[in-house]
Amino acid sequence: MLRNLKIKNLALVDDVQVGFSGGLNVITGETGAGKSLLMGALRLLLGERANKSMIRTGENSCSVYAEFGLENASHVDSILSDIGMEPCDGGLLIIRRVITETSNKTMVNDEPVTLNVLKRLGDVLVDMHGPYDHQSLLDPATQLAILDAFGQVGGAKEAYQSKYRNYRVIQKQIDALNSDNEEDLERQIEFLAYRVAEIDAAKLSVKEDEQVEEEHSITANSQQVIELANNTVNALTEGEGCAFDGLVAAQQGLNQLIKHLPEAQEWRDEIESAVTSVQEVVRSIETSATSIDASPERMQWLDDRLTTYQSLKRKYGSSVEEILQNGQLWQQQVEELRGRDKKRAELQAEQDLVFKAVETAGLALRTLRENVADHLSECITKELVDIGFEHGFFDVQLTPCEAGSSGLDEIDFGFAPNAGEEMRPLRTIASSGEISRVMLATKAVLARHDQIPVLVFDEIDANIGGEIGGAVGRKLAQVAECHQLICITHLPQVAACGTTHLAVSKSVQDGRTYTEVQLLDPESRPDELARMLGGGTEVSLQHAHEMLEQTTRGI
């Protein structure tokens, strides 16, 4: 259960600590006193987004703190384990949020967590019902969720939804295939196929690209290349005063010098090696020069080939590697586009098989729902009798529908509040006060089946009064026998049924407004009920004492 709620610098609240007990905790106070701030603080602790406008004027931060004591912490511990945190120690769970103008700090058991974690914890800790939430009872999705929760069909529902998700995945693939215009597809295929054919016909390669560019440069300058080569050969071996003649003369001189200077042998060997090197260089130059094909035919081929490479690089990629990669990608796309009809047929056949599984799972889920629908109707009808609908009747109607995310069923809650009236959909006949009581009856039924420890009702008794108010109070107290229940109320009949009574008040001190929360004791509680009855007169005070005595006696 929720043990303590601490609020500091939140809107009108300066520094408030509220203690709760088991059973029915009622919260009362004048309109505008700040009762809704308590619920707002609790919503913040359960993952609602915050902003700096919540901070009390003149302060730079606000904080909210909640302490839960859990008899069964298994669901909470499972969530904590998922995020790598230690389980609750002795069932103790502490949630804290600190909001500043620039930051938002969220802590669980003194470790930082995300808002998503708080929302997950909130789903298993607290069921909050606000003053307008009863309208959700008119929503078919909410009605179906109520039936499923009552029937505990979670396993069958998840099995269905898993198969339905598979069905939807295939349907999206089929929709994607069907989304394009056939003429547009043909144009796209033709466009990509042309690119692929052009690349294939060019027979590109990285090696040839380099060779063509190099040979084109040589051939384009062949006259100059040959002239320079000839000049080089002349300078080395053929011209007057060439290097070769000089080396030969030096070699002959060294042959004579060896007779007088032994180390000249080494010099002669080096000169001989140089002569050989010059001859080899000359042969290489002559071979390269004579191998140049400077014919018009060869030059034209090189021009054409170089143009092909340059053109394809401009159109399809900055390098041969990129062009070839794009060609492969476009070829794959062409094959996929040309195979759309085949792919569509394959997907349709697969979807037909999956849909059979969807139908099987959906029918199994429907059977479970039908088995519990009448029982839910009986249980809610019984609860409605207790809160003023003596001749009322509630009905759950299921009708088949096309497969959807929740199953193969549509649901409608029917309601006949008075004897002799025919059953009609709840949304067409119920007043806001009637819907509130139907919601309370529904919550009373579900409370026996769920494991959420804390139920919060914020003005669920709106538009209810008189003896019906007393019946609602007794029903809330009955629900509080198996859950901690926190209820904000304006009805003294409801407040009198509480086991713990908290009064919220507002005061002005030194020009500033303060909200305070007081735990009422047996002496002060009648005064608060008398105020709610219309004033502090002797008559209202006597009436308040009588209401408390009747509640104590269980009347």
Q: What is the rounded distance in angstroms from the CA atom of residue 397 to the CA atom of residue 536? A: 49
Among 56-60, 176-180, 350-354, 519-523, where is mean pLDDT lowest? 176-180
Least confident range of 17-21, 219-223, 346-350, 477-481 = 219-223
Query: Does 323 lie in the same domain as 245?
Result: yes
Neighbours of 279 (CB within 10 A): 14
What confidence category does residue 189 fall into, taking pLDDT thresholds of 50, 70 and 90?
confident
Least confident of 57-66, 397-406, 424-433: 424-433
- CATH code assigned at 23: 3.40.50.300
Q: Which range is least confidently modeled, 219-233, 395-409, 454-468? A: 219-233
What pLDDT score was predicted for residue 137?
80
Shared-domain flag, residues 107 and 191: no
Say whether both 204 and 127 belong to one domain: no
* Strand segments (E) across 367-468: 393-404, 407-416, 424-425, 454-458
Residue percentage of the chain with pLDDT more than 90: 36
Q: Are 198 and 282 in a shared domain?
A: yes
Q: What is the mean pLDDT of the chain?
A: 85
Structural tokens at position 361: 């799972």
pLDDT reported for residue 307:
86
For β-strands 61-69 and 24-29, DSSP reports them as unpaired
Euclidean distance between CA atoms 383 and 390, whole angstroms: 10
DSSP-derived 3-state class of residue 3: strand
> pLDDT at residue 555 above 60?
no
Assess if residue 424 is contained within a domain. no
| Residue 378 covered by a domain | no
Q: Which residue, among 123, 101, 102, has the nearest Cα to 54 in the 3D structure?
A: 101
Same domain, 190 and 307: yes
pLDDT given for residue 277 in this prediction: 81
30 plus 113 within the same structural domain: yes
| 540 in a structural domain | no
Concatenating the DSSP letter of every residue in 271-313 gives HHHHHHHHHHHHHHHHHHHHH----HHHHHHHHHHHHHHHHHH
Q: Across-strand partners of 503? A: 28, 518
Q: What is the pLDDT of residue 2?
A: 94
Query: What average pLDDT does the segment 294-317 reach?
Result: 84
The residue range of the domain holding 90 is: 1-131+453-520
Q: Are residues 83 and 227 in the same domain?
A: no
Q: Which pLDDT band holds residue 161 (cuts at 50, 70, 90)?
A: very high
* 81/204 same-domain check: no
H or E, element range at 24: strand 24-29
> Do residues 245 and 310 share a domain?
yes
* Nearest 10 degrees: Cα torsion 43, 49, 52, 58: 10
In a domain, 398, yes or no: no
CA distances to 26, 40, 445, 468, 469 from 439, in Å: 18, 21, 10, 14, 15
* Nearest of 186, 81, 171, 146 to residue 369 by alpha carbon: 146
| CB 62 within 8 Å of CB 40 | no
pLDDT exceeds 90 at position 170: yes
- Half-sphere exposure in the Cβ direction for 505 (13 Å, CA): 9
Q: Using 50, 70 and 90 to split pLDDT, how confident is the model at 224? A: low
- The per-residue pLDDT for 23 is 92
Residue 230 pLDDT class (50, 70, 90 cuts) = low
Query: Which of 28-37, 111-120, 290-299, 512-521 comes out lowest in average pLDDT?
Result: 290-299
Least confident span in 26-35, 250-259, 323-332, 362-371: 250-259
Task: Report if residue 324 sits inside a domain.
Answer: yes
CA 214 vs CA 120, 221, 492, 555: distances in Å: 69, 11, 100, 108
* pTM score, whole prediction: 0.65
Q: What is the pLDDT of residue 187?
A: 85
Three-class SS string for 427-444? HHHCCHHHHHHHHHHHHH
Residue 518, amino acid: Q
Q: In angstroms, rounded to a whole number, what is the distance separating the alpha carbons of residues 433 and 384?
A: 13
In percent, how much of the chain has pLDDT > 70? Answer: 92
Listed ranges 244-248, 403-407, 472-476; the one with the highest mean pLDDT = 403-407
- State whether 226 and 321 are in the same domain: yes
pLDDT of amino acid 88: 92
pLDDT single digits (tens) 414-427: 988 887 778 888 87
Q: How confident is the model at residue 432 (pLDDT cuts 50, 70, 90)?
A: low
- H/E stretch holding 267: helix 264-291
Among the listed ranges 94-108, 121-135, 321-335, 360-374, which one has the minimum average pLDDT value? 121-135
What's the confidence (pLDDT) of residue 133? 67
141 inside domain: no
Q: Which of 122-126, 308-312, 464-468, 470-474 is predicted least confidently?
A: 464-468
Q: Is the pLDDT at 370 greater than 80, yes or no?
A: yes
Q: What is the pLDDT of residue 291?
A: 67
pLDDT tens figures, 258-299: 877 778 788 877 878 887 887 787 777 767 766 666 677 877
Higher pLDDT, 247 or 536: 247
Residue 399: how many other CB atoms lie within 10 Å = 9
Which residues, including other chains, have CB under 8 Å from residue 263's CB and lie 6 or more apart? none
At 290 the pLDDT is 66
Q: 342: which DSSP letter?
A: H
Least confident stretch, 74-78, 82-86, 134-138, 204-208: 134-138
pLDDT higher than 60, residue 32: yes
Q: Which of 280, 312, 338 is the last residue of a domain?
A: 338
Report if residue 239 sits inside a domain.
Answer: yes
- Last residue in a domain, options 338, 365, 392: 338
Of 338, 364, 385, the last residue of a domain is 338
The domain tally of the chain equals: 2
Q: Is residue 3 part of a domain?
A: yes
**What pLDDT is attached to residue 485?**
92
pLDDT at res. 132: 64
The CA distance from 226 to 274, in Å, is 24
Residue 324 binned pLDDT confidence (cut-offs 50, 70, 90)? very high
Does residue 314 share a domain with residue 243? yes
**Mean pLDDT computed over 31-38:** 79
Looking at the fold, whether 208 and 119 belong to one and the same domain comes out as no
